[in-house]
Structure 1
Amino acid sequence: MPRLRNLLLAAALAATPATGAPAQELLRIGMESGPTSLDPHYASIITNIAYSRHVFQPLVQQDHRQALRPAIASEWRAVDDLTWEFRLDPRARFHDGAPVTAEDVAFTLGRAGDVPNSPSSFRVYTRPIQAVEAVDAQTIRIRTAQPTPLLPNYLSLVMVVSRKHGEGATTADYNSGKAMIGTGPYRHVSWQPGSPLVVERSAGFAGPAPAWSRVEFRPLANAGARTAALNAGDVDLIEIVPPDQYRTFAADARFTVAQSPSNRLLFLTLDSDREDSPHVRARDGGPIANPLRDARVRRALSMAINREALVSRILQGQGLPAGDLGPEGYFGTSPDLKPQPYDLEGARRLLAEAGHPQGFAVQVNGPNDRFVNDEQVVQAIAQMWTRLGLVATVETRPRGVWLSEAAQLRYSVNLAGFSPNPEVLGMLETQIHSWNTTLGLGTANRGRFSNTDIDGLIQKARQTMDNAERERLTQQATRAAIRDQTALIPLYFQVNTWAMRKGVTYEARTDEMTLATSVGLAR
């Protein structure tokens, strides 16, 4: 896809990494939202993980293109199909000066998937682990119940915490700052929900020193407020720049911009499970057997969405139409899975074939402050389905309410977004596999789609150490889920954007994290 390659090149040319930049005192970042919690294991969502990475570190970390790099572990290898070995960097120290030990790692991996009231558990990443063993002072071996080829990728999302400070600590203890003792480049200073999060550089950090002594992450949920703050000089950098403002900043010599294609897929979840779905009714408002359980109906709804129009009109070019679960070039994507062509007449015929020639009533839900122009996207989809013959209405919620209600399965159709951990298999495990608490799979399957054949392919793929065979199984499962069953409706991949005052640079990331360690100075 030439457009994707060009965006990757542009992002690489625009960015200057923070390492090596002269020290500066204060960096002020305008964020779309603050964390829902400082507990690094409370919620497996990108925003929380991004904040955690300033105070804590994983064993291995993902760079701006999501390739694995050393963090607390300086090297790692698969000893056999059931054993991974990690060598700890002897320089790694917690902020209290204590070295990182195998006990800290074992405690972390036991805690991460077992935090009470977690709305999005890390259990999917830690469940394969059976034991953590110390080989010597700097070497640990992690044994898994079955072959787990993606274990290093999984662990790149799990922040290592101190057993000394974390044992018995609650999420409230992390939120208060009491347990915020990590190994990361910054120390925690202060935070209250809705207020700036403040960190200061840690003098004892083992890695490259960050360029900024103090960082303030200022939550500015409204896109207009973020752009106004940058224009006024109240912040130095903002994320998630509205499309029209991005072009304005790019043309203004006082500012510079950065962008990168994202691995985040925006998609619609569909309640394909319940006989009586909460927001699906007959056209007259009466009860109806849930038509979303029929794969033909789900496919018709997908065919009636004009993805090119969503990207060009609603997102003003800040997106790439999607037909797969990962962007082109991601491990496990299928070259033959192209975006579903817009075909309104074909959708009408398919809907009639499924027994709904007059359509039905449906409410489309989504957030109004989470993704770029998310509310407008939801409204546009409802309008497209109205042309299909449905009575389509819209209801959007602020991020916190939306996350909670989606987790409670209160929606029939919902706009969602997810970034696979960098293989398509990550989408299959969390979004497509049947909801299964025993296996820790289907943890974000809000439509409760379920297909035993597809489940079998996913389970086999996630235990296949051979890369070529794992990719083949991943592709087979994705084709079955998207092409045959329309388990969910892929819409588009986001383009991540940042704008900053002149002299500041940002190393644009595919995972959409905004990290102070990626902010540098122009040379």
Structure 2
Amino acid sequence: MKYFIFKTVCLVGLCAVILVGGAYADTLRMAYSAAPKTVDPYKSSASPTASLNEHIYEALVSRTNKKLLATSYHWEDDTTLVVNLRKGVKFHNGADFTAQDVIYSSCRMMYRVNDKKNMLTSAMSPVVDVVALDDHTVAFKTVGLYPILIQKLKSLSILSAGDADLGPELKFDNTGDCGITRYPTKAQFESGEFANGTGQYKLVSFANTGDANLVRNDQYWGEPSNWDSVEIRSVTNSGARMAGLLAGDFDLIENPTQEDLLSLEGNSSYSYSSLPSWRSIFLILDVGSDVAPGVTTPDGSNPFKDIRVRKALSLSIDRNAIVNKLMGGLATVASQFAPSYQEGADSSMPDMAYDPDMAKKLLAEAGYSDSITLDLNVPNDRYQNGTRVAQAIAQYFTRIGVKVNLKAEPWSVFRKGRSGREFGIFMYGWGHPQGPAQMLSYAFPSRNKELNLGGSNYSNYQNADLDAAMEKWAVETDEAKAFAYNQEAMRIAVEELPGIPLYYQHSIWAHTSDISVAGRPDERTFAEMATKN
């Protein structure tokens, strides 16, 4: 698509229209696999929404640890993180970026809209104050030791304080009140009136379908953007996305299936790019309840409380077959709950074993031969080949004598059941942009609100040694020691199996062969990862 700018020039009463060509000549057309919900950066942390918003807004530090609006940071004391801000940055409307904007954005993250928390509020929950030391230095003060705060601040999209009515004094509080008398509304964000960030692209339009049009931010503080304009569309059906690519409607699409990729063979006009991601795919088991929802046995007991049953289920799964046959080699067999290739993970841990004969033996020893029936719950629109993987797992369980009812549901339905703790066993995925402890810190420790541990412990698992290791990790400021504590907890989790690691998902993009794609491990689809050859 080519855009033109028309200028009218009047000379001695003669007016002429001059066509200025070349502006916005390079347009990247991308198809997401799910629709962005909003351009309010704090209303959703879902990947499609965050991918769109990352074009418009920036954080202090990127999800891949690149310094963005922060140039440096250090801990002044155990509870004060000082961040030095980048100078010379302007918002899309021309306003200067200062420490005041960081305080305002922190308030906006904590602010309840219609008495509902923002999706990202928990990231700031240990913060008790945000103070401007000068125009380009800000201090975050925490209630106690919180060494991973800079990782959590990756979720803090910076907005312009000038877009709100601040009142006589802007002072942070954890309710988001902060003396602010008016925040921009969701509608004002989506109209473009206050979709005002410092990012590489400016919003032109956003539709309730999730479609968005962007143009280059010519005042961007960093390297010029790769594209003059970007069009983002959403096509949930993978076959339709690929058809759109082949028809010339798109230059790049995300999450093609293996069948989709086969259609590119022998066609030199198209290619695909893949990268191991930070997302691990696993099963969660309710190991702590006396009765696991959707799981039945003749005596009414919860079989998942027996470690032999958990090990039997894990041993029954041929992960290499899943990776090589279902995923076409575009996944990695899991050795633990976080990607083994991520910095700070224990790369020496062996891959999860496959031994169906031992699995049957363990079930017999536990007294559960051919006597377990379970509902296996899985979202059918969330993960690459997710339903097919769940079908394979159901077959593996069946082969060792476990009867399975596969329940594949849309994410919107599945999420409600998971949140309501209605599942005894379910398949899930977790990204790790905050490091290899991200999933583990939420999923398996006992609930500890002060240290923000165990907030998603759907397994109802408790282990004092794991709790102790994660509590040390949560307050350790030495990175090497923090990694060691997490590795200790991870080894316990893999031995105890409150969940079952499966594989690490790879990100895949199909695209025209005249562009190159350097993807990111956080699975987001961002225009700047594509360059014209």
Q: Same fold (TM over 0.5)?
A: yes
In 1, are the aligned partners of 2:44 and 2:118 still within 8 Å (CA)?
Answer: yes
Distance 1:110 1:353, change over 3 A: farther
Following TM superposition, by how much is the alpha carbon of 1:173 offset from its aligned partner in structure 2, in angstroms? 4.9
In structure 2, C-alpha distance between the alignment counterparts of 1:445 and 1:238, rounded to whole Å:
34
The equivalent of 2:256 in structure 1 is: 241
Q: 2:103 aligns with which of 106, 109, 114?
A: 106
State the Cα deviation string for residues 447-469 of structure 1 (Å, max 9, x = none): 34333432221121121111221
Mapped partners of 1:465, 1:125: distance in 2: 18
| Structure 1 residue 435 displacement after superposition | 4.1
State the Cα distance separating 1:474 from its structure 2 match: 0.8
Alpha carbons of structure 1 residues 426 and 503: separation in structure 2 relative to 1, 3 Å: same
Cα distance in 1, alignment partners of residues 394 and 44 from structure 2:
30
Q: What RMSD, in angstroms, separates the aligned Cα atoms of the two structures?
A: 2.5
Q: Does 1:82 align with 2:79?
A: yes
- Residue 133 of structure 1 aligns to a residue whose secondary structure is strand
2:268 is equivalent to residue 253 of structure 1: yes
- Aligned AA for 1:499? A
Pairing of 1:109-508 with structure 2 (within 5 A): 109-113=106-110, 115=112, 121-165=119-163, 167-171=182-186, 173-175=188-190, 177-249=192-264, 251-282=266-297, 288-437=300-449, 439-483=451-495, 485-508=496-519
Distance 1:382 1:176, change over 3 A: farther
Letter in 1 for 2:44: A
Do the aligned partners of residues 290 and 103 (structure 1) sit closer, same or farther apart at CA in structure 2, a change above 3 Å counting? farther
SS of the residue corresponding to residue 242 of structure 2 reads: helix
Q: 1:345-376 CA distances to partner (integer Å, 9 max, x unpaired)?
A: 22222223333223311111112222111110
CA deviation digits over 1:418-477, x for unaligned, max 9?
111242111222222234555433333333433343222112112111122112111111
Q: Taking structure 1 as reference, are residues 386 and 171 closer, same or farther at Cα in structure 2, changes over 3 Å only?
A: farther
Deviation at 1:41, TM superposition (A): 1.9
Equivalent in the alignment of 1:55:
56
SS at match of 1:462: helix
For residues 47 and 302 of structure 2, the distance between their equivalents in structure 1, rounded to whole angstroms, comes to 33
Partner SS, residue 189 of structure 1: strand
- Give the equivalent residue in structure 1 for 2:41: 40
Counterparts in 2 of 1:133 and 1:377: CA distance versus 1, 3 Å: same
The 1:83/1:438 distance shift into structure 2, 3 A limit, reads closer
The equivalences for 1:6-17 within 5 A come to none
Q: Structure 2: which 5+ runs fail to align?
A: 1-22, 165-181
CA distance in 2, matches of 1:395, 1:126: 36
TM-aligned CA deviation for residue 499 of structure 1: 1.5
Separation in structure 2 between the aligned mates of residue 335 and residue 25 of structure 1, nearest angstrom: 42
The 1:143/1:438 distance shift into structure 2, 3 A limit, reads closer
* Contact 2:280 2:337 (8 Å CA) reproduced: yes
* Regions of 4+ moved over 6 Å: 117-120
Structure 1 unmatched runs, 5+ = 1-21
* Greater relative contact order, per chain length (Cα 8 Å cut-off, separation 6+): 1
Checking the alignment, whether the CA contact within 8 Å between 1:30 and 1:218 is kept in structure 2 is: yes
Secondary structure at 1:482's aligned position in 2?
A: helix
- Could you tell me whether the CA contact under 8 Å between 1:120 and 1:444 is conserved in 2? no
SS at match of 1:141: strand
Letter in 1 for 2:342: Y
- CA 1:139–1:235 in 2, change beyond 3 Å: closer, same or farther? same
Moved more, 356-365 or 117-126: 117-126
Q: Deviation digits for residues 5-47 of structure 1, max 9, x if unmatched? A: xxxxxxxxxxxxxxxxx96442210111112443322233333
CA contact (8 A) 1:244 1:316 kept: no
Alpha carbons 1:262, 1:510 under 8 Å: kept: yes
Partner of 1:6: none
Between the two proteins, what is the percent identity of the paired residues? 29
1:246 and 1:42, CA in 2 relative to 1: closer, same or farther beyond 3 A? same
Q: What does the per-residue CA deviation read over 1:54-113, in whole Å, with 9 as the maximum and x for residues that have no partner?
A: 111001113xxx2x2221122223334433222212222222222223232123234425
Whole-angstrom CA distance in 1 between matches of 2:160 and 2:307: 48
Cα distance 1:439–1:45, how it changes in 2: closer, same or farther (>3 A)?
A: farther
Is the 8 Å Cα contact of residues 325 and 333 (structure 1) preserved in structure 2? no
Aligned-pair CA distance for 1:388: 1.5
Shift of 1:247: 4.8
The amino acid across from 1:243 in the alignment is Q
Q: Is the 8 A contact 2:444 2:459 kept in 1?
A: no
Aligned match of 2:17: none
Taking the aligned partners of 1:499 and 1:126, their CA distance within structure 2 comes to: 36
SS in 2 for 1:260: strand
Give secondary structure in 2 for the equivalent of 1:333. Answer: coil
Q: Matched residues in 2 for 1:448 and 1:175: separation?
A: 40
Amino acid at match of 1:345: D
Q: Distance in 2 between matches of 1:317 and 1:220?
A: 25
Contact residue 351 and residue 359 of structure 1 kept, 8 A? no
What TM-score comes out, normalization by structure 1 length? Answer: 0.87
1:295-351 residue CA offsets vs partner (Å, 9 max, x unmatched): 332222111111111111211211110011233332332234222211112222222
Closer/same/farther in 2, CA of residues 204 and 405 from structure 1, 3 Å limit: farther
Counterparts of 1:271 and 1:174, CA distance in 2: 41
The secondary structure found in structure 2 opposite 1:381 is helix
Match of 1:3 in 2: none
CA distance in 2, matches of 1:120, 1:416: 22
Give the length in aligned residue pairs.
493
Question: Partner amino acid for 1:359?
Answer: S
